[in-house]
Structure 1
């Protein structure tokens, strides 16, 4: 039996673990993606920081005036909202194209498909690292003091990565089979940006419309942003995001087990 054939006969768990443990491959591929994107650029990935900084700097005073909110309170809220939402939306967009954009690798030989989901996550983590540094001068200017509860960002970020990987497998499989789903997801993310407190404060929301804060992106944003602003996230956000995580893990596991071998035929 050939090695390729024996690899295809592995269990779903073995297939997932083989891709997950090869950090050397997916981190290298992710780094090369960033390098190639900014090839022959003098500043390289620093353009990510500068472009995001220009957006935050331009929108902060404007939206603070529109909403009648003190700039020192609104600016950190907006900065973290834009940074984290950029991370979320980029993760989802890359999840839809995780396998399609890796077609050359998948067609040339056996690769565990989970490897390419980790590749997209690693690429977005590199981009996020270039953008989150913008919050440091904003927090210093606004005089934000964080306590021990800021450490809750780490478990919240771990949950975000787990969800990103689950959605990567789920959306990657669906969007590889049905290419129109990518456009649907893109349109949905554009709508969800305005239904998530990225550009506005939750306390400005009328009581009858509080239900929109139950969308998973709003809950994840609450868990990540509130501790960095010196507060404590709503306990309901933890319950909600843990429930959503369980559903996404179940859905991704079922699809991964059943359809992982068909990806190469769908490309």
Structure 2
């Protein structure tokens, strides 16, 4: 009953903001890249809606909790401290060097994995809204990415505390983290949109992504460092450079490097820009072909 009342209120809000009163019927002109792009633009224009919904998701998750969203920060901080202490001893790396590496890696990984795993179920989880509310399909994607970004912002408190405990000589390069995070957000949108559509049609995709994301965590330099790998594999630079084949490594580097004061090679940026362009094209292709079928698939 609560959900139905909530949907009724949301319907009224959407009709007020969009000026529509019913669902959109696809026509021959709708299966174009322009129509797919218009959906993204229209959804972004309904920012009042997805900003409110994303914030509501967090409040609903921590309703009646004393600390509320602070639990996000506490959980991430404890995990980072435990892994940092353990692996710094195993790899014989100074804690002041290794803990910031692990902590920022976990913060960024939380955003990436959230967009992948929750993105696969984004339309399935919003079945009621999709069937009853006349809004752009991308609204649900922006809602998810906004929620994950709020989680990331909460966790950045840990980074600030860490920089106070282990001071780094951070110069103007730290500002590069801002465009890097903007790229991360753009990628979160296409990832959630593409996998959301595909996983709605093929329900086996979601558990596959869940398992694959878990595997990617271990092969991505989060709790280990590429420099350590190179030192331990003497004379075998080819094996040490296998991490370069993992695209998530490059996404982590462009954000983590400026935040912990390490140099970031330009090729990391080019790789991320390339994957961003390809990902947006894939998302637009999926939207052009199947976005109007999502309401029938959920």
TM-score, length basis structure 2: 0.86
**1:219 equivalenced with 2:250 (yes/no):** yes
Structure 1 CA distance for aligned equivalents of residues 78 and 291 of structure 2: 42
Q: Determine helix, strand or coil for the equivalent of 1:99.
A: helix
User: Matched residues in 2 for 1:179 and 1:74: separation?
Assistant: 39
Mapping of 1:87-126 within 5 angstroms? 87-126=111-150
2:3 alignment counterpart: none
- Partner SS for 1:4: coil
- TM-score, normalised via structure 1 length: 0.95
Structure 1 position 58, deviation (Å): 1.9
Residues 142-183 of structure 1, C-alpha deviation per residue, up to 9 Å, x if partnerless? 121210111111111111111111111100100110111011
Matched, 1:59 2:83: yes
CA, structure 1 residues 65+14, in 2 after alignment: closer, same or farther (shift >3 Å)?
A: same
1:238 aligns with 2:269: yes
Aligned to 1:16: 40
Structure-2 separation of matches of 1:110 and 1:7 = 10
How many residues are aligned here?
A: 266
CA contact (8 A) 2:24 2:134 kept: no
Unaligned runs of 5+ in 2: 1-19
Pairing of 1:175-254 with structure 2 (within 5 A)? 175-205=199-229, 206=233, 207-209=237-239, 210-254=241-285
More displaced, 124-133 or 200-209?
200-209
State the 1:98 CA deviation. Answer: 1.3
The runs of at least 4 consecutive aligned structure 1 residues that moved more than 6 Å come to none
> What residue number does 2:13 align with?
none
Give how far 1:62 is off: 1.4
Structure 1 unaligned spans of 5+: none
Which secondary structure does the structure 1 equivalent of 2:22 belong to? helix
CA distance in 1, matches of 2:80, 2:126: 33
SS class of match (1:192): helix
Q: Distance in 2 between matches of 1:5 and 1:63?
A: 53
CA distance in 2, matches of 1:87, 1:5: 32
